[in-house]
Amino acid sequence: MMKLGFLLFFSLFSLSVSGQQLPQHSQWFWNQLNLNPAHSGIKPCVEAKTQVRAQYLGLEGAPNSGNFSISLPIPTTRKRFLGTRQGVGMIFERDQIGPFSGNRFNFSYAVHMNFTQNTRLSIGIGAGIKQWSFNKQKSTTLTYDPLVQENATALTPDANIGLWWNGENYYLGLAFNELTRNRWNNISDDSRFKIHYSLSGAYRWIARDGITLIPSMMLRFPPKSKISADLSLLVDFKNQVGIGLGIRNTDAIMAYLNVKIKEQFQIGYSFDYVISPIGGNQFFSHEISVTLNGCKVYSPTATGCPLF
């Protein structure tokens, strides 16, 4: 059984190496900074978020990840109402899959340019370091492999860039990650990180009685792999409770729940019913997020949008 489990793990890992090399999250729309540095300081207040994901729960060596991010505007005295604003952000992220683990520490900076009161273009850059490690105690092979006989760690630079355009009721975001394309020195002879890019967008439709509908989409373009598409529909009730459903073409059907507590604090949960062959109707994914922000609330019952 152990050999079968590791064979399954390495088959999964070989797919992830040639395709998606970044942690995957279902609640991406509630943590934009983790995807796009252009979201740094986009709100006029400090905002902190944390996110934990257990993927394919119950499968030995399955991925699990977590992150913490903080976003804050740079104080400025604008002489013009539509003058340029600036913001900074910080992200710490950890990812684990079988014997492989990664840590990322990243600082980001963004410029926010308003063209009208409700339309804005943001440009952001991020830079930091990434640690990628291999633990031989968590692996085994059917035949001898010299690359699996000792622990190894690689420390490399990390860089990303992003664009963000939003109006009062919509947004579009484009992000490029892993720009440094570092090799996995001391871990593999011919493997390296490759550039990933993603396109995201959403629209807010205000219905009535405090109900808002928010359809959203995320397209991920991993190298040498098929495009991953997330399509979701969220229903927001008076900016207090949000529920939703979504589907990822490569993996799962998703359900979401988001609850605000005293306006500045909110908690989100998502459940992934895995429909890919790896699921087998027995391995599911769970994700929890927590947000704390200091933005002033002008109307606690007004229908709001948690996305921008």
248 has pLDDT over 80: yes
Residue 142 lies in a domain: yes
Give 75's DSSP letter. Answer: P
If residue 176 lies in a helix (H) or strand (E), which one and from where to where? strand 170-177
Residue 87 lies in a domain: yes
270 has pLDDT over 60: yes
- Per-residue pLDDT of 178-219, as tens digits, reads 888 877 766 666 667 788 899 999 999 988 888 999 999 999
More confident position, 215 or 15 = 215
Residue 303 lies in a domain: no
Q: How far is CA 259 from CA 49, 161, 254, 302, in A?
A: 14, 31, 17, 15
Least confident range from 121-135, 154-168, 218-232, 292-306: namely 292-306
pLDDT of residue 180: 86
Torsion sign (Cα): 295, 300, 302, 304: positive
Domain membership of residue 220 as a residue range: 2-293
More confident position, 232 or 5 = 232
**CATH label of the domain that carries residue 79:** 2.40.160.40
Total domains, the chain: 1
5 has pLDDT over 60: no
Rg over alpha carbons for the chain, rounded to the nearest Å, is 20
Instruction: Give the confidence band of 3 by pLDDT, cuts at 50, 70, 90.
Output: very low
pLDDT of residue 140: 61
Residue 50 lies in a domain: yes
pLDDT of residue 22: 76
Residue 45 lies in a domain: yes
If residue 12 lies in a helix (H) or strand (E), which one and from where to where? helix 2-18
- Per-residue pLDDT of 114-152, as tens digits, reads 888 889 999 999 999 998 887 766 666 555 556 555 677
Least confident range from 33-37, 73-77, 131-135, 173-177: namely 131-135
Most confident of 9-18, 87-96, 138-147, 281-290: 87-96
pLDDT of residue 301: 45
Task: At 210, list the tokens.
Answer: 């405090």
pLDDT of residue 8: 38
Residue 298 lies in a domain: no
Share of the chain above pLDDT 90, in %: 48
Counting beta carbons within 10 angstroms of the beta carbon of residue 128, is it exposed (0 to 12), middle (13 to 18) or buried (19 or more)? middle
- Per-residue pLDDT of 214-243, as tens digits, reads 999 999 988 777 889 999 999 999 888 999
Instruction: Give the confidence band of 28 by pLDDT, cuts at 50, 70, 90.
Output: very high
Task: At 201, list the tokens.
Answer: 């967008």
10 has pLDDT over 90: no
Residue 235 lies in a domain: yes
pLDDT of residue 229: 94
For the chain, the 3-state helix, strand and coil shares in percent, each to the nearest 5, are 10, 50, 40
Residue 36 near residue 124, CB atoms below 8 Å: yes
Residue 304 lies in a domain: no
Contacts of 86 (CB under 8 A, 6+ apart): 41, 73, 74, 76, 109, 110, 111, 112
